[in-house]
Amino acid sequence: MNIDLSVGSLGNARPVAIVTAAVSRHLDQDIAPTLAALSDLGISTRVVEWDDPTVVWSDFALALVRSPWDYSTRLSEYLEWIDRVDSESTLVNEAAVLRWSSDKHYLLDLEREGVPIIPSTFLHSGDPVVLSSAGEFVVKPSVSAGSRDTQRYRSGESDKGILHAERLLAQGRDVLIQPYIASVDERGETALVCFDGVVSHAVRKGPILSHGSAMRTVDGLYAVEDISARNPTSEEVHVAALVNAAIPSSGPPTYVRIDLVQGDGGEILVLEVEANEPSLFLDLAPGSAHKYAASIARHFRD
C-alpha cells in the first residue's frame, strides 16, 4: 500500500515511540529535530523510557530506538526488552540489528564478510591475558557505550593493559584489544550516518583517548567529544556501503552510524558500527532530520 507522506496524512495512525532512558533523555540532541521532522510528515510521537513498566508497547505503530544509553550496563535486561517489544510492536532498527550491534563481536562478522576492520582480538572468561609490549594499544569491553571503561596504553605498558583486561574479565565482561591507530591524533575519526543504506552526512570526531588522565564524560554516559562536519572521501563511502551490506538484517538498517579511521598505510578501517542507539548529529547536517524521518516513515508502507 502506498501512503502519501504529506503533512497530516498519517494523523490517524498510532504514534511512534521515541525510545530513550531516564538518564539520557535530556542529553539526546537528536530527539527534538526527530520529533519536528516526523511532525512535518503528520506522524505523532511520544518520548518514552525503555524500562518504564507503565508503557504499553502495542499502543505504538513503531518503537524507534533513540537513546537507551544505559543499556550496556544492563545488557540482559535490555535484550529481554528487545524481545518483548518485538512481539508487541515494530522495532526500528529491527530486533536482529539491535542485538547484533550491542556487542562488538560484530567486528568479526564484518571481517568475515570482507569489510576492513581494525585488527581485533577478543578475550573471554578463562582466556589467558597476553599482550604485546610493542606499539600503542587500546583495551575496552566488548559491550560498552560512550567509550566507558576504554583506555589507551603506550608501548611497553602491557602490564597495565593486562590488569585492565583482567579487571573487566573478573566482572564477567568480554574484552576487546586493538592497536591504537596513530592517525586519530591528527585526523580524528570519520563518522558516516546512513539512512536506508545511503550516506546522509558525516562528521569528524576528534581524539578522546589520552595517556594517564581520566576521560571527561557527560553524566558518566559518554566521553566529551570534539565534533564537526566533514565531507567523507569516496573510499570512506565505499567502506560504509560494505558495512551496510554486511549487517544481518532483512534490508539496509533504517539508521546506522559507521565510525572509520585511517590506517598506517592510508587504508580505511572500521572502528565500530552503531546501529543500536547512536548519536546522529542531525544538528550539523541541514535536512538530515527529514531524511531520517522519511526512512522511519517507510515502515508505515511495509
Question: Which DSSP state fits 231?
Answer: P
* Residues 57-98: tens digit of each pLDDT: 999 999 999 999 999 899 999 999 999 999 999 999 999 999
Higher pLDDT, 225 or 21: 21
The whole-number pLDDT of residue 8 equals 40
User: Quick check: is 274 catalytic?
Assistant: yes
Omega cis (within 30) before 12? no
Spatial neighbors of 257 by CB under 8 A, at least 6 apart, are: 191, 192, 193, 194, 273, 274, 275, 278, 279, 280
* Residues 120-157: tens digit of each pLDDT: 999 999 999 988 767 899 999 999 866 678 899 998 89
List the catalytic residue out of 173, 230, 236, 277. 230
List the catalytic residue out of 148, 154, 274, 298. 274
The whole-number pLDDT of residue 133 equals 66
Buried b (16+ CB within 10 A) or exposed e, 45-80: bebbbbbeeebebeebbbbbbbbbbbbbeeeeebbe
The whole-number pLDDT of residue 179 equals 94
Among the residue ranges 60-64, 191-195, 298-302, the one predicted with the least confidence is 298-302
List the catalytic residue out of 173, 257, 272, 277. 257
Of 40, 51, 39, the residue nearest 15 (C-alpha): 39
Q: Is the separation of the CB atoms in 204 and 285 below 8 Å?
A: no
Return the residue matching grid coordinates 564524560.
Answer: 217
Q: Is the separation of the CB atoms in 115 and 271 below 8 Å?
A: no
Q: Is the separation of the CB atoms in 30 and 282 below 8 Å?
A: yes
Whether residue 215 is predicted with pLDDT greater than 60 in this model: the reply is: no
* Residues 28-60: tens digit of each pLDDT: 999 999 999 999 999 999 999 999 999 999 999
